[in-house]
Amino acid sequence: MDAEKIVQELSLEEKAALTVGAAFWFFEGNERLCVPRTLVTDGPHGIRKQKVIDSLMGSGESVEATCFPPACLSAASWDPDLIEEEGSAIAAEASSEGVSIVLGPGTNIKRSPLCGRNFEYFSEDPFLSGEIASAWIKGVQKNGIGTSLKHFAANSQEKKRLVSNSVVDERALREIYLSAFEKAVRESQPWTVMCSYNMINGTYSSDNRWLLTDVLREEWGFEGLVVTDWGAMNDRVAGIKAGLDVEMPGPDDANVNAVVKAVKEKRLSQEELDKVVLRIVGTALEAEKNRKRGSSYDKISHHELVRRIASESFVLLKNESLLPLDGSKSYAVLGEFAEKPRIQGNGSSQINSNYVDTPLEMLKKAGYDISYAPGYSLERIDDDSLLKEAVALAKEKDAVIVFAGLTRESESEGFDRTDLSLPGIHDELIEKVAAVNESVIVVLYGGSPFLMPWLERVKSVVLGYLPGDAAGSATVDVLSGRVNPSGKLPETFPLSIEDTPSYGNFATEEKNVLYKESLLVGYRYYDYMKKSVLFPFGFGLSYTTFSYEDIKAEYDDELGKGCVTVKVRNTGSRDGAETVEIYLEKLESLIFRPLRELKGFKKVFLKKGEAKEVVIPLSERSFAYYSVPLGRYDVEDGKYRIYAASSSRDLRLSVDVTVRGNKSPQVMKWRPGDDFALLFKDGKLPLSPESSGITMNSTLSEVLEDEKASLVFKPLVDAFITPFQGKSDGMSRMQVAMAADMPLRAAAVLTGAISLDEIREKLEELT
């Protein structure tokens, strides 16, 4: 039977049942009409399929799988083809486990370097994010496995992520926070989109018709399912009206009954429900078709692919002739990360890796003369003895390789960092070692930018972000020169937290998060404000050098198409790859806009001495800005300067083109520093009102502060917080932080310790 026929045959109760998950990891099916349940798992950088798949909680032990580099590193590849390969490999693993949909890619914009979950996102720039997300989706889906583009949208902090209200003006929303999603939807049509937990301008994403229907489906042509993030459902009936298809996780009888009741009472029409059900049934049938095909994969070749992706994405930040390593030198290898590299971030994306190789093991295997001292401990509070031992070793050797970075405890889903420093004694170790040995190489792991107070005192710095399970081999490939580094930063490394665009408006105690920097996110801010940075967006060195020649640009106004052509030459003594970055600037613009914006890029491999012509396409969108009064993208008439650049601050060549467009565009008077409210209708901020008393949307921490409510809801606290309290490991910290910020309605579906109906009854008792 086809999907439409099935929908006709389903009863109202059966239809309602399909709109809520069957279990933690299954969309509901219908046995009578042979609609199978659909198995979905996290993602994004591998398969996290729980061993006990029908368990109620989502954090159980998972099957072994390949841990690919998380998004923070894969975006640094600037290589969509490579990331498409990663997608295909992940699809093969999903298929071998009977998984139909992988929950990724995470495509939120990095608004602040402090966001605890930045490691799971690609970039501060929407164009780069959109290109990489699209490629990953294509790679997965061409193998018959679905994806879930998440978290839609404006979910750029962990603090209060389930209840916060992202207050963003529409132009910034469109140009910065939605546009990577738009690109991925238009170019790759993901099977599903996962709505975010938070509110946007006062409405929860799960109930947001403007977001889920007007924009996503009607403007962008999305054809798939919208699912909630796990526990994000605010109002099931409002969600159906808004275009939210599946509530996850389940079961949740209260919401199934609410849907039935709403139809009976004519608050929800059959047609509205049928639209949702048709999409659910269609996806289930499609998933089943592909699931039957099955597949297997080769663990060794996937590990090799991780190694290739990671080594081609590592970013060489500084090199004063210490790299590649010299086989005739003796090296002190310091820092416990050499032995236990941090390969991925903490939280729902955490893969149970098949096999991790380590830098220490691979340096030995490569035959280098190395001696190791841990320098710090990843498990216990540091004492001076490890530091002293490391410094003593550093004194004896020709050169030093120090491994340092962000630890599991300092960066995680569920909470945000509070400062930009490295944790523990990592900085101190580097400083002390640099004081006794002038040949210091630093290798850094971590999912987000940090400060480097010792930068002037070391010779070479390699950033490995989070390299996945080939951490050791990839690191040694780059250190040894077997691979010439070609990664570039997908985000700015700032000089201080005070310098960052969202400083003062990020992860505060407020539920309303004001995106006051508007369009000026990442390099758009630093460039507009003329601020110095530690390392600019798009920056990355190589063991060779490149020159840029002969830039040309053409653009046909009628067709809305054009291209930039530039010749790149490898002028150094090694083969290597360069990414050409294309930035656009509107000359004499009448409207407020960032100085320059990334509109294209292309990575090209060149043998030493070789030159190649690189062609990068332009479209009408490359020149456009979002006009709120017109309700669409608009192109301003006039001259645009196009730069071919090696980083956002290393503009090599430029050429001007004249574009025919709107001669009287919206003149935008607002400038950074002006009243933020002026960017909103009638000059009023769309704030979420503070709720009075305990409601479904009160968080567990609010419940705990209320004497009566804390007694009534004790079972929830016991299930969700008590087992993790007082523990300092990353997972426990995450659990406690997430639970504190979790509204009652979400805690019910995520713990199964209490039902939504029971919560309603208890809330009535309280009043």
Of 14, 28, 42, 79, the one binding ligand BGC by CB under 6 A: 42
What tokens does 451 get?
């400060």
Nearer to ligand BGC, 192 or 311 (CB): 192
546 contacts ligand BGC (rule: CB under 6 A)? no
Rounded least distance, CB 42 to ligand BGC, Å: 5
Q: Is 646 helix (H, G, I), strand (E, B) or coil?
A: strand
Which CB sits closer to ligand BGC, 150 or 417?
A: 150
For 25, 206, 226, the CA distances from 248, given in Å and listed in that order, are 8, 11, 11
What are the tokens at 723?
């087992």
| 134 versus 205: smaller Cβ distance to ligand BGC | 205
**Rounded Cα gap, residues 715 and 124, in angstroms:** 40
Long-range Cβ contacts of 675-682 (<8 Å, 24+ apart):
676/169, 676/514, 676/516, 676/518, 679/169, 679/171, 679/172, 679/518, 680/169
Minimum distance between the CB of residue 103 and ligand BGC, rounded to whole angstroms? 4
Question: Is the Cβ of residue 197 or residue 220 nearer to ligand BGC in the bound state?
Answer: 197
C-beta of 249: minimal distance to ligand BGC in Å? Answer: 8
- The residue (of 49 and 649) whose beta carbon lies closer to ligand BGC is 49
User: Whole-number minimum distance, CB 233 to ligand BGC, in Å?
Assistant: 13
Please tell me whether residue 49 binds ligand BGC under the rule CB under 6 A: no
Contact between residue 606 and residue 569 where contact means Cβ atoms under 8 Å apart: yes
Distance CA 154, CA 671 (A): 22
Q: Is 469 in the site for ligand BGC (CB under 6 A)?
A: no
Smallest separation, CB 544 to ligand BGC (Å)? 39
Q: Which residue is nearest to ligand BGC (CB)?
A: 348
CB of 751 to ligand BGC, least distance (A): 13
Distance (Å, whole) CA 71 – CA 638? 37
For position 158 contacting ligand BGC by CB under 6 A, the verdict is no
Distance in angstroms (rounded) separating the CA atoms of residues 149 and 122: 13
**Is 151 within 8 Å of 194 (Cβ atoms)?**
yes
Among 103, 163, 462, 759, binds ligand BGC (CB under 6 A): 103
Q: Which of 367, 594, 581, 627 is CA-nearest to residue 488? A: 581
Residue 50 interacting with ligand BGC (CB under 6 A): no
58 binds ligand BGC (CB under 6 A): yes
- What string marks each residue from 205 to 234 as x (binds ligand BGC by CB under 6 A) or -? ------------------------xx----
- What order of strands is seen across the sheet that includes strand 330-334? 315-319, 460-463, 440-445, 399-405, 330-334, 369-373
In angstroms, the CA 548 to CA 14 distance is 63
416 as an active site residue: the answer is no
Q: How far is the CB of 390 from ligand BGC (least distance, A)?
A: 38
Minimum CB distance to ligand BGC smaller for 345 or for 374: 345
Given candidates 313, 348, 505, 579, which one binds ligand BGC under the rule CB under 6 A? 348
Q: How far is the CB of 348 from ligand BGC (least distance, A)?
A: 4
Angle at 411 between CA 410 and CA 417, to 5 degrees: 80
Residue among 42, 207, 229, 477 flagged as catalytic: 229
DSSP 501-520: TTTTSSS-S-SEEE-TTTT-
Whose structure tokens read 């000089």?
495
Site residues for ligand BGC, 728-767, by CB under 6 A, read none
Task: Give the chain's radius of gyration (CA, Å).
Answer: 26
Interface with ligand BGC: number of residues (CB under 6 A)? 7
Sign of the C-alpha dihedral, residues 742, 748, 754, 760? positive
Residue with tokens 């947001």: 208
Nearer to ligand BGC, 229 or 702 (CB): 229
For ligand BGC, the binding residues in 230-269 under the rule CB under 6 A are 230
Nearest residue (CB) to ligand BGC, 230 versus 526: 230
Q: Which amino acid is present at 293?
A: R
Q: Under the criterion CB under 6 A, does residue 150 sit at the interface with ligand BGC?
A: yes
Binding mask 661-690 for ligand BGC (x = CB under 6 A): ------------------------------
| Residues in touch with ligand BGC (CB under 6 A) | 42, 58, 103, 150, 229-230, 348
Catalytic residue positions? 229
